[in-house]
Chains A and B, each alone.
Chain A
Amino acid sequence: MSMVAIAVLALLALCLICGAILGFAAVRFRVEGDPIAEQINALLPQTQCGQCGYPGCKPYAEAIAGGDKINKCPPGGESTIQALADLLDVEPEPLDAVEGEVPPRVAYIREAECIGCTKCIQACPVDAIVGAAKQMHTVIVSECTGCDLCVEPCPVDCIDMIELGSNLQSWKWDQPLAPGQLIASDREQAA
């Protein structure tokens, strides 16, 4: 009987000590914020376009950390979904968007038509539009994320979304066909 009591007491003491250590660690080494949400946020393209249904990339990152689907980011496309799937160890899903993946674009203001209402400036999440009331506005291309949030508020519809396309700086080599894909190569040769 005393043996059982000793064992129970020993285990109890062990539990209490471990619990105290864990409790102390939880307080002492407390992690501020949600590290997973931060990691997810780092993978998102930060266009702040709101196409996911959240007001910006960070809220979506927090929503994903809270269990939302990972396929709601059209600007990020498949690569972002893949990266999120790797990070969260879930199955990648096809992109959930009306238009599917869109190529990178930037906003362009037809300056002759701009009336200087500043509505687009207020809509831009990254301050990429310069201008003042009753002055012509224009887009700083290098800062534009192509979120198209400025298109909707424009009262005179003078904002276009222009595809960036390929230039000498962004051009890159294509990956060759994987070896052994003879049929494609044969077709190439026959041509």
Chain B
Amino acid sequence: MTSLNVWDIHGGIHPPERKALSNRTPVRQVPLPARLVLPLAQHLGAPAEPCVTPGEQVLKGQVIAEASGFVSAPLHAPTSGTVSFIGPQPYPHISGIPAPAIVIESDGLDQWIELQPRTDYRELPPSELLEIIRQAGVSGLGGAGFPTAVKLTAPPTQAIHTLIINGTECEPYITADDLLMREKAAELVAGIEILEHLIKPQQVLIGIEDNKPEAIAAVRAAVGERPYVVKVFPTKYPSGGEKQLIQILTGEEVPSGGLPADIGMLCQNVGTCVAIHDAVLLGRPLISRITTLTGEALAEPMNVEALIGTPVAELLAFAGLDSSKLNRLIMGGPMMGFTLPSLDVPLIKTTNCLLASTRAELPPPPPALPCIRCGECAEVCPASLLPQQLHFFALGQEHEQLKAYNLFDCIECGACAYVCPSSIPLVQYYRAAKGEIRALEQKQQKAEHSRQRFEIRQERLRRAEEQKEADRQARAERAARAKEAQAQAGTTPSQDDPVARVQAQKVGLSDEQKKLKIEASMAQVALKKAEKQLSAHATPELEAQVAELRIAASNAQKALDEANAAAPPVEATAAPANDEAAKKAKIEAAMLRAQVRKLEKLETRDTEQQAELTRLQAQLASAEQALANAQQSAPPAKKPVADEALKKAKIELAMKRAELKKAEKAGADEAELNKLRDGLVSAEQALHTAEENSAKPAPELVRTEKRPIDEQARALKTEVAFARADLRKLERATDSDTAAIEAARQRLSDAEHQLQKHTDS
């Protein structure tokens, strides 16, 4: 058993208690109000979130607003009725600013929702028990209104070894806890048992001031044999402050800026303990509380158990308010309470007292005089601060100094202002300074937040811009590379003449060419993709793949070029030529040919025209000869060029042959036919020279199997290929005899000869 020793705190005052006004009658029930106003913010932390809609019927104890965060508490309907309004309503705050609230019109039935009492709470896991307390909307009833479940779950830096139950009620006038302890001592002890089960402290201390003998007796009787220590200590204001009470009961001080949990203590108000009892053992949420109605403006000061949300005016009327006498209506006590701006505000969870004072009872403070530096305030400060210094710093708005002098350890008890001979409203200075500092800090935080957002945005914009620029460059580079690749791969004779090349590409692309072109570009795309991949993640497989693709792409491109070169040009102008002379000759030939055709088309020709035609045909023949010569003299370095010439010569020959046949059919005279025959012969010669130039077809041409060649030629070619393969095989094999090799060589040359013969025919 812990000793009954108590310690003293620094300072403190002994104002007139005036508790006798209200503590002589038992707690009374207030008649059910017609209209209840339930502000969403009745606790510290995030306001609750409404979960009902106007017009909805609610039952007593039904959840009407849910907790909207960890530090938050739900709200319950205090009686059955209809939700009539959700929105701003008068709120008990010194500023008189309305706050969002749920308004319930009572239906007078006071019908409970189905309750779920948990008498077996000892079997429940702690988390479930905490959830019951949280869902019951229990928040500290002593004054600050901190959600109890949060206080109980807060991860302790140190295990809680001491549970302190606060039954001090040190402020003058207030007797709500006194009456609660007298009348609900059994429930109080049951609530303490729940807390003890939940946090398992080593000791439980119940602190009660010695001015409440009835309450002390009742609690002692209820505690009975339980190991709870009821500590009684001399009355002094403000020993009911959490930190002060801890010091009185244990002699330990909560460090500056710290919490009781830092030294392993937890403090709960007696009213909160009863609310926990109701929540767990009865299943009833927090919907009512005991409140002191006192002051000399009331005919019948008393304590009442009132529903949360009951309008203050109704409560005061119940206690017999004489409005002519009323000077100041204070919510809370005379030391720490605040003046209510109107009577319309509702009772909330933290309202422990309504003090309707007359002017004589609480006279307005005399005008403040300059500080005389008497030091009284420092002597009474329970937090051992220097109120006088703080006052001067607050006057000068010296925030750094205020913080250095621990302004935020001030509990705003008002003891300093109470003793001040100059009647300086010291607490108001501190409150204003605290508000100012908090506002500045908030502003600073917001500025920092905005700065970060601004900088992140700038960064994002910059990145987007860079990305755009990079994309643009990549596009330009790609285009340049493609051009270069085309220029390099383009083996067409007109590679120096982009216009001609474009024309050549545009004009008369055969299906095969198109297909090859598509294939080439697809190969090119695949290669690009693979290259990109490779640049992103360089792996050997990718590298090999890229190399493969590159070869494939170049092959495809080559095939395409070949096909382009080999394709029969639809127009003579489309036929590419890299030799100036050849070009010239070609143009001349084309012009002549066009003229010849024009003349030939005429059905009836007079002699003049006939002569002209003959002359032109002769000129055409010579021009074509010249052209063939020119092409022959063109450097045969590039096979496709020669190939092209060969093709052209072949076509030329075919055309000549057709012309001759046509003339024969038309029954032209012998001279004309002879001329045509001459032309045919010269075309044949041109073809031969062309063939000589392109002695062997390029291997790629062999590979592009779909090239139109006749059956026999194909068979011959296949034979040649087979023969060549056989020969190579034999040559490679070291042990093969020379006779076999000779035979194979013979076979190859035969096949080649046959093929040559076939091509010539």
Contact = CB atoms under 8 A, between A and B. Distances in A.
A168 B93 contact: yes
B450 interface: yes
A164 to B, nearest CB: 11
A175 B91 CA distance: 23
Contacts of B41: 168
A185 B367 contact: yes
Given A45-B443, A127-B453, A176-B432, A171 B368 contact: no
Contacts of B367: 182, 185-186, 189
Given A45-B443, A126-B457, A172-B435, A178 B93 contact: no
Contacts of A179: 368-371, 422, 424
B395 interface: yes
B99 interface: yes
A31 B613 CA distance: 95
A56 B461 CA distance: 15
Nearest to A45: B447
Nearest to B443: A45
A44 interface: yes
Contacts of B433: 175
A176 B429 contact: yes
A38 B59 CA distance: 59
B635 to A, nearest CB: 61
Contacts of A180: 368-370
Interface in B434-464: 435-436, 438-440, 443, 446-451, 453-454, 456-457
Given A46-B454, A180-B369, A189-B367, A172 B432 contact: yes
A79 to B, nearest CB: 8
B394 interface: yes
Nearest to B93: A168
Given A173-B428, A185-B367, A46 B447 contact: yes
B425 A176 contact: yes
B447 A44 contact: yes
Contacts of B446: 46, 145
B340 to A, nearest CB: 15
A175 B370 CA distance: 15
Interface residues of B, number: 39
Interface string A149-183: 00000000000000000111011111111111010
Interface string A38-60: 00010011111000000011100
A91 interface: no
Interface in A128-143: 128, 143
Contact of B95 (A48, A166, A177, A189): A166
Interface residues of A, number: 34
A170 B431 CA distance: 13
B97 interface: yes
Nearest to B391: A179
Contacts of A174: 428, 432
Contacts of B456: 127
Q: Is the interface of B mostly helix, strand, loop or mixed?
A: helix
A104 to B, nearest CB: 9
Contacts of B425: 176
B43 to A, nearest CB: 13
Nearest to B442: A170
A54 to B, nearest CB: 13
Contacts of A182: 367
A78 B95 CA distance: 25
A88 to B, nearest CB: 18
Contacts of B369: 179-180
A125 interface: yes
B457 A125 contact: yes
Given A172-B432, A173-B428, A173-B435, A127 B448 contact: no
Contacts of A125: 454, 457
Interface in B93-112: 93-95, 97, 99
Contact of B432 (A175, A185, A189): A175
Contacts of A57: 451, 454
Given A46-B447, A143-B453, A185-B368, A176 B428 contact: yes
Interface in A81-119: none
A127 B457 contact: yes
A44 B443 CA distance: 10
A171 B95 contact: yes
Given A125-B457, A189-B367, A46 B97 contact: no
A145 B438 CA distance: 18
B451 A41 contact: yes
B368 A145 contact: no
A110 to B, nearest CB: 21
Contacts of A56: 454
B93 A171 contact: yes
Contacts of A178: 395
A188 B446 CA distance: 37
Interface string B533-565: 000000000000000000000000000000000
A46 B424 contact: no
B453 to A, nearest CB: 4
A175 B453 CA distance: 34
A79 B395 CA distance: 16
A64 to B, nearest CB: 16
A47 B447 CA distance: 7
Contacts of B453: 126-128, 143
Contact of A175 (B422, B429, B448, B454): B429
A57, A79, A167, A180: residue with the most chain B Cβ atoms closer than 10 Å: A180
A171 B450 contact: no
Nearest to A180: B370
Interface string A54-82: 00111000000000000000000001000
A126 B370 contact: no
A68 B433 CA distance: 32
Query: B91, B93, B450, B456: which has the most chain A beta carbons within 10 Å?
Result: B450
Closest 5 CB pairs of A and B: A172-B435, A185-B367, A46-B447, A173-B431, A179-B368
6 contacts: A126-B450, A127-B453, A143-B450, A143-B453, A166-B95, A175-B429
Interface of B: 41, 91, 93-95, 97, 99, 364, 367-371, 394-395, 422, 424-425, 428-429, 431-433, 435-436, 438-440, 443, 446-451, 453-454, 456-457
Given A46-B454, A47-B450, A176-B432, 18 more contacts: A45-B447, A45-B450, A48-B450, A58-B451, A125-B454, A126-B450, A126-B453, A143-B450, A145-B446, A168-B99, A172-B431, A172-B435, A175-B432, A176-B429, A179-B368, A179-B422, A185-B368, A186-B367
